[in-house]
Amino acid sequence: MAVAALGLFAAEAVVLARRRGTVFAVDAMVRCQAGHLFTTYWIPGGSLKSIRLGPWRIQRCPVGRHWSLVTPVDVAALSDDERQLAAATHDARIP
């Protein structure tokens, strides 16, 4: 029973991630509530350095140096300057 529930949860996470355009991303571009863009690790159904709240996460924003709700962004909707800005700043790497 627990294995079936875990499988269903994982399948749902992958479906939601595909709708956002990413399944597993080492350099996923995200935006914090203050509007800062940066890249982070984004693994659906798991988190190592953030608090998960469904499709959102609370984690440290390296741009504004504050804790914030972050969400993945649609990379295709970003300008070239915004993509370069996000790619230039990555949150803390996992050792």
pLDDT, residue 49, reads: 80
Of 94, 92, 54, residue with least CA distance to 72: 54
pLDDT, residue 41, reads: 85
pTM for this model (two decimals): 0.71
Of 17, 14, 68, residue with least CA distance to 38: 68
Burial of 40 (0-12, 13-18, 19+ CB in 10 A): buried
pLDDT, residue 7, reads: 54
3-state secondary structure of 54: coil
The residue extents of the domains of the chain are 2-88
**Tens place of pLDDT for every residue, the chain, 95 residues?**
666 545 545 555 555 555 555 545 677 899 999 999 999 988 777 777 888 887 789 999 999 999 999 988 999 999 999 999 999 999 887 65
